[in-house]
Amino acid sequence: MKENEKEVMTLISSAGDSRSKAFEALKAVRSHDYDKARKLIDESEKADVEAHNMQTKMITEAIRGEDNNEVSLLMVHAQDHYMCAELVRDVVQELIEIFNERDNN
């Protein structure tokens, strides 16, 4: 496996972890366990930071001309996966606060 492919797989894996933790947090909201939901969102955000760091590394390499690989379908998939993971985390994070406020009023 080429180094670039390893980086892409790391991006996909980290984004997948982020998205999974966010959905686990949403399940905790359903049970009104907001502390658990916030803990899971924090874990989701840590995975998201890992994905973001890999994406930034790859973009920086491309800008510097250090990346001789063409854009592949796998890379497009990785970027899509990461973007969706970020969106899910942001929405779930907001839902935690909305439902928590509703339950406490």
DSSP 72: -
Residue type at position 105 = N
What CA–CA distance (Å, rounded) separates 8 from 51? 10
Domain borders along the chain are: 3-103
32 noted as active-site residue: no
Token pair 């779930």: residue: 92
Asked if CATH classification 1.20.58.80 holds for the domain at 3-103, the reply, yes or no, is yes
**pTM of the predicted model as reported, rounded to 2 decimal places:** 0.87
**pLDDT score of 1 more than 80:** no
Mean pLDDT value across residues 54-64:
86
What CA–CA distance (Å, rounded) separates 75 from 43? 24
Q: Which of 32, 52, 77, 81 is catalytic?
A: 77
pLDDT digits 0-9 by tens, 19-42: 999 999 999 999 999 999 999 999
What CA–CA distance (Å, rounded) separates 79 from 85? 10
| pLDDT confidence band for 70 (50 / 70 / 90) | low
H-helix or E-strand containing 1?
A: none
